[in-house]
A and B are shown apart, each in its own frame.
Chain A
Amino acid sequence: MSIHTLEVLVENEPGVLARVSGLFARRAYNIDTLVVGPTSNPEVSKMVIQVNLEGHSLEQVIAQLDKLISVISIEELVEGAKKPVKDTQPDYQN
């Protein structure tokens, strides 16, 4: 079992929760918990997602999430600290 916590900033648009949860469902990624809340910017919401990888790679989960146009940024929460895994010019691929 390999659980990772991702903090995902998304466009605050109707349907964004369906986009993210639908992605996890169709790619058979397990969500342990998912919390959505506001940020100081009313146009942006924050999702905190605990994903149980079970054979999937974290890199692939993040890359697929990042492909959603409504996803603005992704950070992995590691023991309370934040580790950015995506910015607008992703360079984690090298």
Chain B
Amino acid sequence: MATTHVPTANGTVMNGATSLVKSLEAAHVDVMFGLPGGAILPAYDPIFDSTIRHILVRHEQGAGHAATGYAQVTGRAGVCIATSGPGATNLVTPLMDAGMDSVPLVAITGQVPSAAIGTDAFQEADIRGITMPFTKHNFLVTKADDIPRAIAEAFHIATSGRPGPVLVDIAKDALQTQTTFNWPAKIELAGYNPKIVPDNQSISDAAALIAQSKKPVFYVGGGVIKANAHKELAQLVELLGAPVVTTLMARGAFPDSHPLHLGMPGMHGTVAAVTALQKADLLITLGARFDDRVTGKLSTFAVNAKVIHADIDPAEINKNKFADVPVIGDLRETITALIPALKSALAKNSQDLAPWNASMQKLKSTYPLGYTLPDDGSLSPQAVIERIGKISGTETIFTAGVGQHQMWASQFISYEHPRTWLNSGGAGTMGYGVPAAMGAKVGAPDSTVWAIDGDGCFQMTNQELVTCALNNIPIKVAIINNESLGMVRQWQTLFYEGRYSNTSLESKRVPNFPMLAEAMGCVGLSCERPEDLDATIEKAMSINDQPVVVDFRVHRDAMVWPMVAAGTSNDEIMIARATAPDWDSQEL
């Protein structure tokens, strides 16, 4: 059960549309991203007078990802709003994306009048049915009286427990009917009561197991950021002194600069992080979900490790990997409880972790992330991303598209703080970068926000730069222009004998990105020579009253390494083409 603040409008007669806007205000919404149309039009009339800032996007997909970017930097629910039919279906990708990455999102859609539902009416789409598989929950509201409760429940469900997207589909006649506004004083859902405080027994079992282990590793997932548990995590790590890996969704949950941090595990993880999981005798899993991109071939993943799995979602336990000690609860509560429990367990019994730490540190220093500069003197994509990270500093918020540039942005930028790295991890949604950066900048207007985007991704959602230009949202976009769908091309190089079927974008010829940027009201820059790199980034950093787009024209053949090929074992990690680490020289 959750209690809410009852607004003064309670008991006032108004139409459903006004009731919707009053409900959003009561839910403390300060900004929403959307685009109107017939079925949602009644709501746009009271939106005109509301204190809520409505940002008019150019495509509803942009509204959804912007709401996600906003949610990821603020920790609050992001809100997007669209009309029925195609407006609603344009939200499908961001809703699925938010579901995969546990983002608190509330999507409001207009629906055709209730009497027309089921008649294939103009712009009718069963958006509740369409979004059932990947929303945390969804509603179809056909009566004005039901609007406040649905909105209150939607925010409660989206932001509590394991966060996720919730859709509220509202029939047009419900928006137009008179109703007495009635914001619920409390929310009680018989079938929803997430467990927040972990059981004492599970905490002491976890502590005992940690104290016994000789090769423990902290396997940290995005849940640590969602639970705002990074400070507690740092204390726990200091207490035990064991190595840490942070997944793609957890970059920033633990400082990259910390000596115990081995980097990112998984398909493009560091040798040390991947090997730490493989060779550990204990995985201390915190808000991670044993995704196939992390585990590689599951049957060969961490075969000698016991598993502690702490998560707020009971359905993650034993889903992919058996948990010897499951701990269900909010991660901040869990880690806070684990610290004293581990202290007393260690006082009774502790292992010497020095040999394990030494071998992991040796791997880390032997196989650091790196790249070779192109022979022809052209611009290296990794160098571009690394320099942007260095020059803009660790307070900067980064978003990425999906592809090689995303992996390099995860690898070659140093993340020191949570909520500074936003990307589409579970869904791998090309086109996430620009609109997510827009939402991030709205949520954190005083931070520098860089979208590290691919030339392919950029061409999916760049129209939101118009939204940015017109609404004073001065984001910076780095297009890592390798004139190709680079990640797919990399797979064609490695697994399809270099047969480059439909991966060449020719985006060094068309479009002209700087001109396109200028046409959208942004500053357009380009950079082709390594000697101009720093000056170009500094130029982009100096423009703060307009969005900036930089076309970094980079070498096309760079590849992302290390790599564990899909479906193979993490033991098969390659540090370059046909090059495995020299395992014989390592003592593990």
Instruction: Give the distance in Å from the alpha carbon of A18 to the alpha carbon of B195 in the complex.
Output: 26
Instruction: Give the distance in Å from the alpha carbon of A80 to the alpha carbon of B192 in the complex.
Output: 28
Given A15-B128, A15-B140, A22-B133, answer yes or no on A60-B189 (Cβ-Cβ < 8 Å): no
Say yes or no for A14: interface residue by CB 8 A criterion.
yes
Closest 6 CB pairs of A and B: A63-B315, A69-B137, A72-B191, A88-B193, A72-B190, A69-B192
Are the C-beta atoms of A69 and B189 separated by less than 8 Å?
Answer: yes
Are the C-beta atoms of B326 and A11 separated by less than 8 Å?
Answer: no
Are the C-beta atoms of B326 and A94 separated by less than 8 Å?
Answer: yes
Instruction: Give the distance in Å from the alpha carbon of A55 to the alpha carbon of B133 in the complex.
Output: 22
Instruction: Give the distance in Å from the alpha carbon of A69 to the alpha carbon of B193 in the complex.
Output: 9
Residues of B within 8 A of A72 (CB): 190-191
Say yes or no for A49: interface residue by CB 8 A criterion.
no
Shortest CB–CB separation between residue A91 and chain B, in angstroms?
A: 7
Are the C-beta atoms of A22 and B317 separated by less than 8 Å?
Answer: no
Inter-chain contact count A-B, CB under 8 Å?
59
Shortest CB–CB separation between residue A62 and chain B, in angstroms?
A: 9
B133 and chain A: residue at smallest CB distance: A26
Are the C-beta atoms of B140 and A93 separated by less than 8 Å?
Answer: no
Instruction: Give the distance in Å from the alpha carbon of A89 to the alpha carbon of B193 in the complex.
Output: 7
A-contact bits for B192-211, CB 8 A (1 contact / 0 none): 11010001011000000000
Q: Which chain A residues in 43-88 approach chain B with CB under 8 Å?
A: 44, 57, 59-60, 63-64, 66-73, 88
Say yes or no for A4: interface residue by CB 8 A criterion.
no
Shortest CB–CB separation between residue B253 and chain A, in angstroms?
A: 24
Residues of B within 8 A of A42 (CB): none
Are the C-beta atoms of B315 and A67 separated by less than 8 Å?
Answer: yes
Given known contacts A11-B191, A69-B137, A69-B192, what 12 new A-B pairs fall within 8 Å (CB)? Answer: A15-B132, A15-B140, A57-B318, A60-B319, A63-B315, A63-B319, A69-B157, A72-B190, A88-B193, A89-B193, A91-B199, A93-B314
A-contact bits for B163-203, CB 8 A (1 contact / 0 none): 00000000000000000000000000111110100010110
Instruction: Give the distance in Å from the alpha carbon of A18 to the alpha carbon of B157 in the complex.
Output: 20
Shortest CB–CB separation between residue B390 and chain A, in angstroms?
A: 43
Chain A residues touching B, majority SS? mixed
Instruction: Give the distance in Å from the alpha carbon of A44 to the alpha carbon of B189 in the complex.
Output: 12
Say yes or no for A10: interface residue by CB 8 A criterion.
yes
Q: Which chain A residues in 12-34 approach chain B with CB under 8 Å?
A: 14-15, 18-19, 22, 26
Say yes or no for B136: interface residue by CB 8 A criterion.
yes
Given A10-B191, A68-B191, answer yes or no on A22-B132 (Cβ-Cβ < 8 Å): yes
Q: How large is the interface on A (under 10, 10 to 19, 20 to 34, 35 or more residues)?
A: 20 to 34
Q: Which residues on B are within 8 Å of A, measured CB to CB?
A: 128-129, 132-133, 136-137, 140, 157, 189-193, 195, 199, 201-202, 313-315, 317-319, 326, 328
Residues of A within 8 A of B314 (CB): 63, 66-67, 90, 93
Residues of B within 8 A of A67 (CB): 313-315
Are the C-beta atoms of A18 and B190 separated by less than 8 Å?
Answer: no
Shortest CB–CB separation between residue B386 and chain A, in angstroms?
A: 41
Q: Which residues on A are within 8 Å of B, measured CB to CB?
A: 10-11, 14-15, 18-19, 22, 26, 44, 57, 59-60, 63-64, 66-73, 88-91, 93-94
Partner of B191 from the list A63, A64, A70 (CB cut-off 8 Å) is A70
Residues of A within 8 A of B195 (CB): 89-90
Are the C-beta atoms of B202 and A94 separated by less than 8 Å?
Answer: yes
Chain B residues touching A, majority SS? loop
Are the C-beta atoms of B129 and A15 separated by less than 8 Å?
Answer: yes
Residues of B within 8 A of A71 (CB): 191
Residue pairs across A and B with Cβ atoms less than 8 A apart, 8 shown, are: A15-B140, A18-B129, A19-B132, A22-B132, A69-B157, A72-B190, A89-B195, A94-B326
Residues of B within 8 A of A59 (CB): 318
A11 and chain B: residue at smallest CB distance: B191
Are the C-beta atoms of B201 and A94 separated by less than 8 Å?
Answer: yes
Q: Which of B137, B192, B201, B318 has most A Cβ within 10 Å?
A: B192
Partner of B140 from the list A14, A64, A89 (CB cut-off 8 Å) is A14
Instruction: Give the distance in Å from the alpha carbon of A64 to the alpha carbon of B317 in the complex.
Output: 11
B328 and chain A: residue at smallest CB distance: A93
Are the C-beta atoms of A18 and B315 separated by less than 8 Å?
Answer: no
Residues of B within 8 A of A57 (CB): 318
Residues of B within 8 A of A14 (CB): 140
Residues of A within 8 A of B315 (CB): 60, 63-64, 66-67
Residues of B within 8 A of A60 (CB): 315, 318-319
A92 and chain B: residue at smallest CB distance: B314
Shortest CB–CB separation between residue B331 and chain A, in angstroms?
A: 15
A10 and chain B: residue at smallest CB distance: B191
Instruction: Give the distance in Å from the alpha carbon of A90 to the alpha carbon of B137 in the complex.
Output: 20
Residues of A within 8 A of B319 (CB): 60, 63
Shortest CB–CB separation between residue B174 and chain A, in angstroms?
A: 14
Shortest CB–CB separation between residue B327 and chain A, in angstroms?
A: 9
Instruction: Give the distance in Å from the alpha carbon of A19 to the alpha carbon of B136 in the complex.
Output: 11
A90 and chain B: residue at smallest CB distance: B314
Instruction: Give the distance in Å from the alpha carbon of A17 to the alpha carbon of B133 in the complex.
Output: 13
Are the C-beta atoms of A63 and B193 separated by less than 8 Å?
Answer: no
Residues of A within 8 A of B318 (CB): 57, 59-60
B205 and chain A: residue at smallest CB distance: A94
Q: Which of B129, B190, B319 has most A Cβ within 10 Å?
A: B190
Are the C-beta atoms of A93 and B317 separated by less than 8 Å?
Answer: yes
Instruction: Give the distance in Å from the alpha carbon of A73 to the alpha carbon of B137 in the complex.
Output: 17
Given A15-B128, A94-B326, answer yes or no on A63-B192 (Cβ-Cβ < 8 Å): no
Instruction: Give the distance in Å from the alpha carbon of A69 to the alpha carbon of B137 in the complex.
Output: 7
Instruction: Give the distance in Å from the alpha carbon of A18 to the alpha carbon of B315 in the complex.
Output: 20
Shortest CB–CB separation between residue B187 and chain A, in angstroms?
A: 12
Shortest CB–CB separation between residue A8 and chain B, in angstroms?
A: 10
Residues of B within 8 A of A64 (CB): 315
Instruction: Give the distance in Å from the alpha carbon of A69 to the alpha carbon of B136 in the complex.
Output: 8
Residues of A within 8 A of B157 (CB): 69
Are the C-beta atoms of A93 and B326 separated by less than 8 Å?
Answer: yes
Instruction: Give the distance in Å from the alpha carbon of A22 to the alpha carbon of B199 in the complex.
Output: 32
Residues of A within 8 A of B132 (CB): 15, 18-19, 22
